[in-house]
A and B are shown apart, each in its own frame.
Chain A
């Protein structure tokens, strides 16, 4: 089955600096890579996703890159703000026209934005 590794487990950055979280996956059949943000006591929420036919995707201060050959994908947050403090989870799965598998998650990264 799929295995997703996520690093680092904790990341502390100064407000305004950039943060990068990295994940690797093992199953070459996986073609969908979402990132979820979970604030304390709240539900995980999708912040960005990328499919295997794309190498990079941006949404304002957030970007995700994917290297299919190396089976790596990364989340980049620029100009970090206090509200970015949360736990971030990467995930991988197979998705097709007829359906989608359950997600395999990384262990999460606790991002701390220092004022």
Chain B
């Protein structure tokens, strides 16, 4: 079974530009989470999708960040315009949720996208 995949693995952009990160969760996983780790700090929650709906976006830093999950499969996270402080590693994770009456909430992480804003 393929794990969570993310694209690109690295992105270097200039301040003011736009970047779109993509996450493909494990097939069949209803829950999709975005996290960010800024250099030297903890991994911070950004938002949570259940299928195509935003369940919790309390961690999104500001309105320069836009996440979508149309169709409830893959998700994109767009940063527009990017600022220097947006640099970091963006992780995506997915979990199965409720399946056949059983809850499986273990979150499987992708390899991350390293974003550098110059």
Contacts and interface: CB of A to CB of B under 8 A. Distances in A.
Interface of A: 1, 4, 32, 34, 36, 42-46, 49, 89, 95, 97-108
B33 A44 contact: no
Interface in B19-66: 31, 33, 35, 41-48, 50, 55-56, 58-59
B107 interface: yes
Given A95-B103, A103-B107, A44 B91 contact: yes
B43 to A, nearest CB: 4
Given A99-B97, A102-B48, A105-B44, A43 B91 contact: yes
Given A36-B109, A42-B111, A43-B112, A100 B95 contact: yes
A25 B98 CA distance: 26
B109 to A, nearest CB: 5
A101 to B, nearest CB: 7
Nearest to B102: A97
Interface in B102-116: 103, 105-112
B95 to A, nearest CB: 7
- Secondary structure at chain B's binding surface: helix, strand, loop or mixed? strand
Given A106-B42, A107-B42, A101 B56 contact: yes
Contacts of B55: 99
Contacts of B3: 43
Please provide the 9 A-B residue pairs with the shortest distance between their CB atoms, ordered closest to farther: A102-B45, A100-B105, A105-B43, A107-B42, A43-B109, A44-B109, A43-B111, A105-B42, A95-B105
A108 B35 CA distance: 15
A44 B6 CA distance: 14
Contacts of A104: 45
Nearest to B58: A1
A101 B56 CA distance: 8
Contacts of A105: 35, 42-44
Contact of A49 (B35, B97, B98, B106): B106
Contacts of B47: 102
A4 B45 CA distance: 13
A101 B4 CA distance: 19
A43 B56 CA distance: 23
A101 B48 contact: yes
